[in-house]
Amino acid sequence: MAEKSKYYRVRIVYSGRVQGVGFRWQVEREASGFEVTGFVRNLSDGTVEMMVEGKRVETCRMIEAVERRLRDYWKSKTEDEREGEPQFDGFSICCL
The yes-or-no verdict on residue 4 having pLDDT over 80 is no
The yes-or-no verdict on residue 96 having pLDDT over 70 is no
Cβ-proximal residues to 64 (8 Å cutoff; 6+ apart), any chain: none
> Per-domain residue ranges for the chain?
2-94
pLDDT tens digits, one per residue of 36-55: 999 999 999 999 999 999 99
pLDDT range class, residue 1, cuts 50, 70, 90: very low
Q: How many Cα atoms within 13 Å fall on the side-chain side of residue 42?
A: 13
Catalytic residues: 24, 42
Per-residue pLDDT, 5: 60
What is the mean predicted confidence (pLDDT) over 27-31? 97
Domain 2-94, CATH:
3.30.70.100
CA–CA separation, 39 vs 93, rounded Å? 6
